[in-house]
């Protein structure tokens, strides 16, 4: 074949291929995403910036140090780009309705109490006339000058740390407020049977001899002693009680926070992402300056810290990690961690309950609790390893109602219009009735128990929180309806369209109120930083009238939970392969009609076809295509379920470029 002919044929193939690809939808400039650094700084928001040690050369990352020249370069960049350090007094005043914070407000903080603050940082602050916080650890500063500091179990030179005399002088500079970074709790303690060391100020200590965890009362007493001690040490040196608490390792805890609040603290700093909106100063995020970044990387990180978090999720069955052989279980865990790191996800929805039969009825859990057997105490171990090694956020995926508890507890029952009888629906989740106070109490205690796990960033409420248009017909439910002015029978409710509508809204709100109760219990123990997400079926999104069939309402979800998680599973909704793409686009379009809703929505795609007898895994290329469609419609947060990390399904190399928002080779 002549060369020119081959060239023409090749050109034709390329043109056909290009035409076959779907072109991105045109978006006028006014509708295109605006870069974070080009958006107006939101009113009364502040960016916390956390430094640690400052060294002239070879900055030690064990103490998250930066080089002196780079810290100076970073502060200069902040000044030249209009960032304004503010004081805690300014923040408190703005929150109370006083003078607004300036645009690009930042709160500088320096943790641990290193001597470099006195020798290297304070002179720069004086030159700039900039304010900052200094948060020393009590026992480290207490250490005699001729002894090494016990730095979380490792000895460090005493000369690396400040003295109390220096802390006093710093506090008198007029530029620095002294905060508390615990007295003796900046260390790890044994957190689970597998031997993980986790932050002492947020962890219930595990005793390997008794195989028991520290009680809530003992934990609270230990923390109170620590808070009172460091508060008094700082008061003696500075003349004032500290009002700012800085969490070691950035890990917060609700029980500890209650103690801190009782001691008069007004602000607590974490290492969470994002700007502080001043709506809850007891859970204030900060950007951690780590890995000694050069100017370009620092600038990019500061701008990125101002962006809204986009969630890229992998939804994981802990049943696939569990193995009766501990050695095999560790192998499984290693595969999971490696895969999450390789996949580039930033969030894992991790099953906290056991469901080996796959029937949705929970008979055992993967964490210590008061009401159900523990299949294996592994949730905290797996979650901690995922957070610290794969660097992802971990949401505990929890049922709302489908717990296999005492058979005497009332279940959700369905009224049969043909026979007039009521019974548990065999085709639906076997759920406990949320209208029974004892059911609510027990489920609440299970949620309190999961909250004691240090490694929980959030809670994902399962899709079992549903009530059909014939449910709940249990006696407790009928009493609740009557108490709220509704007819006391399902037949009467369904015969009156107005009553039917009120009943539907009542049930939707009742389920939401129940999850709000559970959220409050979790946050009281784990802390206000815990996020919430809840699965919603696709039909209530696409057809709002179907709220009657599910007791789920998209608008309710969007205002209640941090994240609404539609089950964007076209094949499960009986769509063909060809129909699946347009169906997903319609799903996004329905949510996009509500301003800002896409910023709080994470779409969960299916990686398995449950409509087939063999429940075949969906090809990675199909999953990647669905993700591309979501992105082209403006969705930024999405993920998939389930992930078979043991057999590389879906294929990592195929899915990662579509899922991850990190750099891809």
Given a cut of 90, whether residue 241 has pLDDT beyond it is yes
**Gyration radius of the chain's alpha carbons:** 27
Q: Does position 541 have pLDDT exceeding 80, yes or no?
A: yes
Read off the pLDDT of each residue in 459-484 and give the average, rounded to a whole number.
Answer: 97
Sorting pLDDT into bands at 50, 70 and 90, what band is 109? very high
Using CA atoms in the order 272, 273, 275, 278, what is the torsion angle rounded to 10 degrees? -30
Spatial separation of the C-alpha atoms in residues 77 and 79, rounded to whole Å: 5
pLDDT band at residue 661 under the 50/70/90 scheme: confident
> Which of 596, 529, 560 is CA-nearest to residue 276?
529
pLDDT of 191: 97
Binned at pLDDT 50, 70 and 90, residue 9 comes out as very low
Cβ contacts of residue 356 below 8 Å, gap of 6+?
A: 319
Residues 187 and 532: their CA atoms lie apart, in Å, by 28
Q: Is 239 helix (H, G, I), strand (E, B) or coil?
A: coil
Q: How many CB atoms lie within 10 A of CB 209?
A: 5
Q: What is the pLDDT of residue 31?
A: 59
Across the range 423-440, mean pLDDT stands at: 96
Which of the residue ranges 34-38, 216-220, 321-325, 610-614 would you say has the lowest mean pLDDT? 34-38
Mean pLDDT of 489-508: 97
Residue 217 reports pLDDT greater than 90: yes
pLDDT 10s digits, 335-388: 999 999 999 999 999 999 999 888 889 999 999 999 999 999 999 999 999 999
Percent share of the chain, pLDDT over 70: 94
Range list of β-strands (E), 600-655: 603-606, 638-641
pLDDT score of 12 more than 80:
no
Average pLDDT in the chain:
94
* Position 37 pLDDT exceeds 90: no
Report in angstroms the alpha-carbon separations of 582 from 17, 78, 510, 585, 641: 21, 46, 34, 5, 20
Token pair 């599973």 in the structure block, residue: 569
Q: Averaged over 481-507, what is the pLDDT?
A: 96
Mind listing the domains of the chain with CATH numbers?
A: 40-305 (3.20.20.370), 312-659 (3.20.20.80)
Name the token pair of 263: 């001691």
Q: Report, as an integer, the average pLDDT of 279-286.
A: 96
Q: 30-44, 270-284, 395-409, 486-500: which range is least confident on average?
A: 30-44
- Say which residue the tokens 């200069």 belong to: 76
Q: Is the pLDDT of residue 658 over 60?
A: yes
89-98, 144-153, 607-616, 632-641, range with the lowest pLDDT? 607-616
C-alpha distances (whole Å) from 639 to each of 190, 523, 603 are: 33, 25, 6
pLDDT over 90 (residue 38): no
81 falls in which pLDDT band (50, 70, 90)?
Answer: very high
Coil, strand, or helix at residue 300?
Answer: helix
The DSSP call for residue 45 is -
pLDDT above 80 (res 190): yes
Residue 79 clears pLDDT 80, i.e. is over it: yes
In the numeric block, which tokens belong to residue 2? 């002549």
Partners of 362 in the β-ladder: 403
Tell me which residue of 483, 453, 393, 464 sits closest to 425, measured CA to CA: 464
């Amino acid at each position: 074949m002549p060369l020119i002919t081959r060239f023409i044929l090749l050109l034709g193939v390329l043109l056909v291929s290009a035409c076959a690809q779907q072109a991105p939808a045109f978006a006028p400039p006014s509708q295109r995403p605006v870069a974070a650094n080009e958006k107006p700084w939101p009113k009364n928001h502040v960016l916390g910036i956390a430094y640690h040690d400052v060294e002239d050369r070879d900055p030690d990352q064990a103490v998250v140090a930066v080089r002196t020249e780079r810290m100076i370069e970073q502060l200069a960049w902040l000044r030249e780009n209009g960032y304004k350090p503010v004081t805690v007094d300014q923040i408190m005043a703005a929150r109370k309705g006083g003078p607004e914070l300036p645009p690009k407000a930042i709160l500088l903080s320096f943790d641990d109490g290193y001597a470099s603050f006195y020798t290297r940082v304070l002179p720069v602050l004086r030159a700039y006339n900039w304010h900052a916080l200094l948060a020393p650890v009590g026992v480290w500063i207490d250490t005699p000058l001729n002894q090494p500091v016990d730095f979380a179990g490792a000895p460090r030179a005493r000369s690396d740390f400040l003295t109390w005399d220096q802390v006093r002088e710093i506090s008198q500079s007029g530029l620095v407020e002294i905060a508390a970074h615990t007295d003796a709790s900046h260390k790890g303690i044994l957190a689970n049977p597998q031997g993980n060391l986790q932050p002492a100020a947020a962890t219930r200590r595990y005793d390997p001899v008794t195989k028991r965890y520290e009680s809530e009362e003992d934990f609270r007493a230990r923390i109170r002693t620590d808070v009172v001690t460091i508060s008094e040490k700082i008061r003696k040196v500075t003349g004032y009680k500290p009002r700012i608490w800085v969490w070691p390792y950035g890990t917060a805890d609700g029980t500890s926070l209650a103690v801190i609040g009782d001691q008069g603290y007004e602000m607590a700093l974490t290492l969470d992402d994002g700007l502080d909106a001043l709506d809850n100063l007891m859970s204030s995020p900060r950007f951690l300056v780590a890995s000694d970044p050069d100017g370009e990387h620092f600038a990019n990180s500061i701008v990125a810290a101002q962006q809204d978090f986009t969630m890229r999720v992998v939804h994981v069955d802990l049943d696939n990690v569990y193995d009766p052989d501990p050695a095999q279980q560790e192998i499984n865990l290693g595969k999971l961690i490696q895969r999450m790191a390789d996949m580039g996800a930033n969030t894992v929805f991790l099953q906290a309950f056991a469901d080996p039969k796959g029937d949705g009825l929970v008979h055992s859990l993967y964490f210590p609790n008061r009401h159900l057997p523990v299949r294996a105490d592994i949730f905290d171990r797996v979650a901690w390893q995922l957070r610290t090694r794969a660097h992802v956020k971990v949401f505990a995926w929890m049922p709302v109602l489908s717990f296999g508890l005492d058979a005497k507890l009332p279940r959700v029952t369905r009224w049969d219009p043909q026979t007039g009888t009521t019974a548990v629906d065999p085709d639906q989740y076997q759920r406990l009735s949320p209208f029974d106070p004892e059911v609510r109490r027990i489920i609440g205690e299970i949620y309190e128990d999961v909250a004691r796990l240090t490694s929980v960033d959030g809670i994902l409420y399962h899709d079992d929180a549903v009530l059909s248009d014939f449910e709940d017909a249990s006696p407790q439910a009928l009493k609740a309806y009557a108490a709220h002015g509704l007819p006391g029978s399902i037949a009467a409710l369904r015969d009156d369209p107005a009553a039917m509508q009120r009943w539907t809204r009542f049930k939707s709100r009742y389920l939401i109120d129940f999850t709000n109760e559970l959220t409050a219990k979790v946050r009281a123990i784990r802390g206000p930083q815990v996020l919430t997400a809840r699965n919603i079926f696709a039909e209530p999104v696409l057809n709002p009238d179907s709220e009657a069939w599910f007791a789920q309402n998209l608008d309710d979800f969007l205002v209640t939970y941090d994240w609404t998680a539609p089950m964007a599973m076209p094949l499960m909704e009986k769509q063909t392969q060809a129909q699946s793409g347009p169906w997903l686009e319609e799903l996004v379009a329905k949510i996009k009609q509500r301003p800002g809703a896409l910023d709080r929505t994470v779409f969960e795609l299916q990686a398995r076809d449950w409509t087939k007898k063999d429940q075949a895994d969906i090809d990675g290329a199909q999953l990647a295509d669905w993700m591309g469609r979501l992105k082209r419609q403006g969705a930024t947060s999405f993920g998939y379920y389930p992930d078979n990390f043991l057999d590389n399904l879906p294929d990592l190399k195929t899915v990662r470029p579509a899922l991850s928002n990190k750099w891809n080779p």
